[in-house]
Structure 1
Amino acid sequence: MALCGIEGSRLGTTGRHDLFLDGRKITGSAMRVTGSIAFHHCTLLVSSDLPHLGRYLKPEGDFTHFETTSVDSVRSPVTTLQSTGVWPPPPTAPGEAAGDLEHAMTRFFHHCAPLILSHDAPQALPVDALRDVWRDGGERAGVALDVAGASDSRVNMPFLYGEGRRHQRGDALTVAEDIARMQSRSWLFNMPVFTATVRVSAGEWLSRIRLLTEADAAAYEEVLSSLLGGAAEVELTTRVTRRKVDRVSASLPWLENLFTAFVTGGPCDAVVPGLVASESATDGILDGLRMECRPLLDLGAAPGADDACDQILCTVWRAVVELWRAKNVFDI
């Protein structure tokens, strides 16, 4: 970093090998070893949108509680190279600033990597020694991986293996293939196990019902009120393991039974059968709704009451499933 003109006194580090500039974090790193592969990545804040950075560290859903076995982020105050004046400040475009820095880091690697990698204690290398190599090295021949270009499916960049490692069954053949895999729903929801709790208020539920039907809302409101039994909201806790819904517990027994029957065991991001707008509820769903919900209602003996009730119950069920999916961000 001193090659960028930063005074050494402005820089600090931690046991996690993070770098701090003026007391604020500018880098972070992570490592993982699995099988015969060691993964490592490092981030560097060049021109990031700081006002919005915090939201990327929080779960996206409308959760009241979220629990997982993944490693929590270590929160720190942050800054960027551009905002501190270390790297060209605006009007340099953010993309240009990052691109220029990538080019400079590539040149640094070509010039200084041999000295660093051959040194017994590279962290103790004096900055002047690196500056001398940088100044006197001239142009060096080298190869730098263009990550952006390699990710282009049209380039079809293959993985190159070294140190005796060979392609293993299940490994991606190209960089683009691995990127596509990590953007798939199967990968996004596969691991780790997580448990999420959301709340659906009576008002939210009724508002979603009104979006689903043009019928008079009074009948739906009456049925929903009876099903809620005076509760102002319902709480739903969902556990997902390897993309599948293990369990959904609800503060209302009839609702928990319905989720157990029609949602548990399926992929968390899959559409629940019979609840798509263009589909009719299946006989199984109708039977479940009648069994769980009708004992809670006063239907009366009006002609057609049963059919009307079935329609209302299907809409009530569809509304709460849609809210459950939206609040858990299962629709991405």
Structure 2
Amino acid sequence: MSRINHQIHLASRPQGEPTAENFKLVEAAVPALTEGQVLVRNHYLSLDPYMRGRMNDGKSYAQPQPLGEVMLGGTVGEVVESLNANFKPGDKVVGMGGWQEYQLVDASQRGVLQKVDTSHIPLSAYLGAVGMPGVTAWYGLVKIINPKPGETVVVSAASGAVGGAVGQLAKVRGARAVGIAGGADKCRYVVEELGFDACIDYKAHQDVKSLSAALKAACPNGIDGYFENVGGMILDAVLLRANAFSRVAMCGMISGYNGEPIPMSAPQLILVNRMKIEGFIVSEHMEVWPEALKELGTLVATGKLKYRESVAEGIASAPEAFLGLLKGKNFGKQIVKLI
């Protein structure tokens, strides 16, 4: 009996803010395997902010998401059939399976599927703390900010999958970690569970002056490193408190993902403070992934790197969960449970 695969396709490109109508739930039969192929039943699907940019048809660092095809995205799951000597049924794997229940892949292509060990690390963590978000945090912090003991590192979206890891990795290196997050509950989590030294609720501040004053109180010695996930008013406030020779890792600018302009109020501070600002895409730095994953995996397995997951149930819930992620409704890493 042939298996039925439920998929989410991109049906249309959003004009401004995306809606559920931009997506379509599709049924498709799973084809029979040919030599070298592996069939994976996806257990969890990753939802990430970068997906919003790929929904547009404009120039970016990645090709646009094709219309009428499965939404691209990271997955973890289990091999259920294999005609490839390197994989057997029961193997747990991570890959880019997309928004669907099954993925059929030519596993002879290097890197399309990676086996993972779930004896000490939960399968879902390979989409978060021990996956792309964790390596993103590691690269921006270690390779760009490179904090020294005693320095102060600030991170926006601090309760999210990337931001939460940034602060904890900074603490491991002897730095102070100050988060910026939306809402008292998220800020409490960042400090009490993740171990940050402080966290500022940006929703409690209506303008740059107010947010900058809160940063001054939380960072009495100024800001030496900033991990940027948001942009806009938050970046302006950080620039006002930045120290000379401070470093900024530009990871995301979610405040402008729907086409909104993101002006900077005082770009001259980059010059005055001789700041280093570097944007990066973690998939362009595969050479560091083994080193990063070794540290991240060890910290998660030993309980020293904590994380939280927001779990949506079933493939049909993916669009609404994704729209919620873009509005900050998630708490920690947003995933979809498929089985």
| TM bin (shorter chain) | under 0.3
TM-score, scaled relative to structure 1? 0.21
Choose between structure 1 and 2: higher helix proportion.
1
TM-score normalised to structure 2 length: 0.21
More strand by share: 2
Q: Which has the higher contact order (CA 8 A, sep 6+)?
A: 2
